Structures are given as C-alpha cells and as structure tokens.
Amino acid sequence: MAKKRKSRGRAKGGKGRSDYVQCSNCGTLVPRDKAKKFTSRVSLVDPSLAKELKAAGTYIAAPKTVKYYCVSCAVHYGLVKVRARDERRLY
C-alpha cells in the first residue's frame, strides 16, 4: 500500500497508542499527536482600560488558552495550509 506521508499523518513515532482530545470547533475526538494545537493569550481587560492601566505601570495578566483542532477544522480556519502532493509525500 502506498505511503502518503512520512509521518503517517501523526507525530507518534513508535510510542503506540495515544490519548484523544476533543476538537475545539466540531467536538470530534482526535488523537493528541494528530490534532493541531494552538495556544493564544486572552486579555481579561478591554483594550482601552488596559492602555490606561499600563500607563500607570500595572501588570495585566493574560492567561494562555490552549485549543486543539482536527485537521479539517484547522484547514477551514486557515491555521494549516493545504500542501501540494510533492510537498507532503515521502520522497
């Protein structure tokens, strides 16, 4: 059988089975090593107030949020581009 990708679509290596995470958009269960992980910082303060507070020398915490997306949702949102056949092949 032809091998489409060098990694077989996952970052598993020789680890065996990996646990599942839920896609943040559609809710489907995706293996953790196949899901696309995106971290972003979310400010808890609106920007106009944050600007005034920063001018006063206040530290504003921005906690990290981690989102996992399945491949189809990541492509839909433009987080991952569709690559040409020769770019995704083994050789």
**89 vs 28, more confident:** 28
pTM: 0.76
pLDDT at 90 over 70: no
Q: In whole angstroms, what is the distance from residue 75 CA to residue 47 CA? A: 30
Q: What is the mean pLDDT of residues 10-17?
A: 88
Superfamily of domain 20-88: Ribosomal protein S26 (3.30.1740.20)
pLDDT at 57 over 60: yes
Residues contacting residue 91 through CB under 8 Å, at least 6 positions apart = none
- Check: CB of residue 62 under 8 Å from CB of residue 69: no
Q: Is 44 exposed, middle or buried (0-12, 13-18, 19+ CB in 10 A)?
A: exposed
